[in-house]
Structure 1
Amino acid sequence: MAFTVSLETDTNRYTGPFTVGKTLVYKHIITNMGNVYNPNTGFFTAPVKGVYDFNFYVYGGGGPIGIGAYLRRNREKLVMAFTGGDDHSINASNGVSVLLEVGDVVDIYLPANHRIIDNGNHHSTFRGHLLFQV
C-alpha cells in the first residue's frame, strides 16, 4: 500500500488563496497501489491498522501570501510545511510517521489565505506508505 500524487497534471496553476481552508485534491496519480488515495476527495484512508509514513512538498512563488499546508489525521493537524516572504520560487516540506486505525483519514489541508502552485514538473506532491502492520 503506497501512493504518490501531485497537485496538477500539466497545468501551471496556483491553488488558493481561499477565504476558508480546504482539503487539497491531488489530480496527477503517479502511484496508487491498493487504491488507498482517493483522487476525487483528496483523502488517504487506512485499509489496515499500522504505522504509516507520509511526506508532502509545497511549492510557490514570492509575495505577501504564505505558501504552506498541513498534514492532518481525521481533521486534526499533525505537521505543517510553510514558507513565505521571498520574491523567488520557494518550497517547503514535512513528514510524519503515525499510527493509524482502519478507516482513519489523512489529507493535506490548505489553510485560509495560503496558496501553492504546481505544474507538469510536479513540485507539489503528497506521498505515503505502510511501514508495518500492528
Structure 2
Amino acid sequence: YKPLFDETGNVYAILDVVIDVTSQVQANRLLEENQEFIRKIFYSSPVANLVYVGKEMILREANEKMLEIFGRDASIIGKPVTETIPELKKTDLFEKYSYVLESGETYQAFAQYIEFIKNGTSYFGYYDYTYKPL
C-alpha cells in the first residue's frame, strides 16, 4: 500500500498494487520437489555416485556408497579431492578428470587398480568408473 498525497500534504487515495505470482510460486515448488526427488535417487542409489566441480575437483556431492569406497565420511564434501584423498594423486584419475573437463567427452575405465587409505590402513581394489561431464 502506498498513500498518495495532494498539494496540501493530505492523503487523497491509497495505491494498492497486486501482482498474481501464483504460477511463479507453483513453478518454484515443483522445482524444489523435483530437486528433492533427484537428490533422493542420488543418495539412495546402491551404486557409488559423486559430483566433482571445477578444475580444483571440489567434491560437491557423494552418496554413502561412494564415501564407503573412499573410506571417508561426509566431512570431505565441499573440499578438493586432492586434499581429502591425497593417495589418489598416485593414480591417473586427476588427469582423466581434466581431460573430461576440457574435452566435454565421457571417459570410462574398467577394472582400474586404485589404492585408498581406510582407517589408516592401505586398501586396494579394482573399480569400473565413468567421468561424465554435466
TM-score past 0.5 threshold: no
State TM-score, norm by structure 1.
0.30
Q: Which has the higher strand share?
A: 1
Q: Which has the higher helix share?
A: 2
Q: Greater relative contact order (Cα 8 A, min sep 6): structure 1 or 2?
A: 1
State TM-score, norm by structure 2.
0.30
